[in-house]
Amino acid sequence: MRDKERVVEAIEALAAEGISPTVTTVRERAGCSNAAATRFLREWREDRAARQADETEADTPPEAVTRIARRGIAALWQEAVRRAREDHDAELAGARDALERAGRDADELARSVDDLTAELTEARSTLAHLREQLEHAEEARGAADRDRTAAQSARARAEGEVSAVEKTLGEARDELARVQAAMTGVEQARRDVESARATADRERAAAEAAHAQSQATLAALRENLDQAREAAAASREDTGVAREEARVAREALEVARDQAAREVAAAQGRLDAERDARAQAEAARGAAEAEASRQAVAAARLEGEVAALRQTRPDGPGEQDVSVVAGPDA
């Protein structure tokens, strides 16, 4: 079934039920777009007005009937404006609440990334301390080489220690490279969060601008309503002109409501984009936290190996240097 036929059937069904057809009720009943509901409702009203004009063309209504009709049109117009304002205010309030929640979420995400950055900075400091300890281990290896001439058994043990230290050094260098890569990811996550925060600010400004524009539209509608009333009062004897002015005013109201609906839909789209950016930043933070946890485990393992190295080193001139490698907590 074509859109026009479906919309016209919905309009006639609403009229038969005693419900005044509007763009909202027609759209909900016919399942069509705002544009289709507005267009075909306007055509239906024009056709109905033309039929009514043909039916009453031969008869001139009494002045009392004309006054009652004008008062009814004015009451209908006021009710239409009131409902349009209520719908618009409710939709705008919902969009503003969503934007405020998104801003709070972005701020919370930024604070979480700041905490994660602080933890990674501390991990970097710990690794620098480990590097210093490993340098001491290299010095201890040199001392072990010098002690090798003193006793063959001590030389064998020293060579084993040197091999273990060399392996530990290689692992520490690998860990350092991975930590640097993780820091690069954290910096990218921070930039993503800052971008998301900026996007939220822009969306909030856009919503406020849309609200201001909607207020201006309502002001213009009020002015059009005043003009329609003045025109109706001036052309009291000309009922056809009054109908045309009322139709134009109703069309202006429907166009304004359609424009407000599009603005709210656009704001919702921007909010969805902001949620996607926030989800990407959350994923980056999770990856950085996992990398930081892995680095902490590697650092603990390295400290255990250095402590084991200190315990297995024989008493001699190089024992003090190995103790320094193990760190103050060993």
pLDDT digits (tens, 9 = 90+) for 275-327: 887 888 788 888 878 887 888 888 888 888 878 887 775 554 444 444 434 44
CA distance 106 to 128: 33
DSSP of 173-191, one letter per residue? HHHHHHHHHHHHHHHHHHH
Closest to 113 (Cα-Cα) out of 281, 1, 244, 253:
281
How would you class 246 by CB atoms within 10 Å of its CB: exposed for 0-12, middle for 13-18, buried for 19 or more?
A: buried
* pLDDT the model gives residue 330: 41
Q: How confident is the model at residue 39 (pLDDT cuts 50, 70, 90)?
A: very high
Mean pLDDT of 140-151: 84
pLDDT at residue number 143: 86
In sequence order, what are the residues at sequence separation of 6 or more whose Cβ sits closer than 8 angstroms to the Cβ of residue 193? 106, 109, 110, 113, 281
Please say whether the beta carbons of 190 and 303 come within 8 A: no
Q: Cα–Cα distances in Å, from 179 out to 51, 53, 124, 301?
A: 81, 83, 8, 15
- Statement: 93-326 belongs to CATH 1.20.1740: no
* pTM tops 0.95, yes or no: no
Record the tokens describing residue 53, joined without a space. Answer: 């004009």
Average pLDDT for the chain: 79
Residue-level pLDDT at 238: 63
pLDDT digits (tens, 9 = 90+) for 219-249: 887 887 788 678 767 766 666 665 777 688 6
pLDDT of residue 186: 58
Give 120 or 57, the one with higher predicted confidence: 120
What is the spatial distance between Cα 208 and Cα 125, in angstroms, rounded to a whole number? 46
User: What is the token pair recorded at 225?
Assistant: 């309503």
How far apart CA 271 and CA 201 sit, in angstroms, is: 11
Task: From 138, 130, 133, 131, select the one nearest 163 (Cα to Cα).
Answer: 138
**Exposed, middle or buried, 272 (CB in 10 Å: 0-12/13-18/19+)?**
exposed
Which tokens sit at 34?
């705002």
pLDDT at 325: 40
Domain ranges of the chain: 93-326
- The structure tokens 């969009």 sit at 95
Q: Which residue has the higher pLDDT, 39 or 111?
A: 39
Q: What is the pLDDT of residue 162?
A: 66
What average pLDDT does range 110-128 have in this prediction? 78
- 177-226 pLDDT, tens digit per residue, is 886 786 787 588 678 868 878 886 887 888 688 778 878 877 887 887 78
What's the gap between Cα 294 and its chain centre? 31
Which of 102, 21, 84 minimizes the C-alpha distance to 259? Answer: 84
